[in-house]
Amino acid sequence: MSAESNVQPAQLDIPLVDEPHADDATAEKTRSASRMKLWKSRIVTASSNFAVQYNYNDIAWTGKVWLASLYGYPCWADSLSSNIIFVGTLFGMVVLGVVGDVVGRSRGMVLTLSVMAA
């Protein structure tokens, strides 16, 4: 066993550098760009979640109004239609999300819109 293997990590005299940049200005630019990218991703994620929930609520409300006013339906159809919409939403998110990961976002979006249009 060598002497180096007995050295604990705290005993090593290696300077820890978070970002290997030539100067502080470059490091600050990199940190600033990382923060901006993080905020952009948060805004996109929040917007996406809002859009999904807006569509879900809009479809549920419209379905109830149209079903009731146009066709008249029994009381059990209300909960059945809500459950079908909920299950369809989950199915679309899980299955078509995986399809989008496999075939790419553009093709996945085309497939999703094709299913919605059908």
Cα–Cα distance list, 113 to 20, 83, 92, 100 (Å): 45, 22, 11, 12
- Where are the domains positioned within the chain? 21-73, 74-118
pLDDT in tens, 75-96: 777 778 778 888 888 888 888 8
pLDDT in tens, 52-68: 888 877 877 777 777 67
Q: For residues 40 and 6, which has the higher predicted lDDT (pLDDT)?
A: 40
Q: Is the pLDDT of residue 5 over 60?
A: no
- Name the token pair of 33: 């760009």
Work out the mean pLDDT of the chain and round it to a whole number. 76
CA distance 26 to 114: 46
CA distance 72 to 99: 37
pLDDT at 19: 52
| Mean pLDDT of all residues in 32-60 | 82
52 SS3 class: helix
Q: Is the pLDDT of residue 103 over 70?
A: yes
15 SS3 class: coil
82, 60 Cβ separation under 8 angstroms: yes
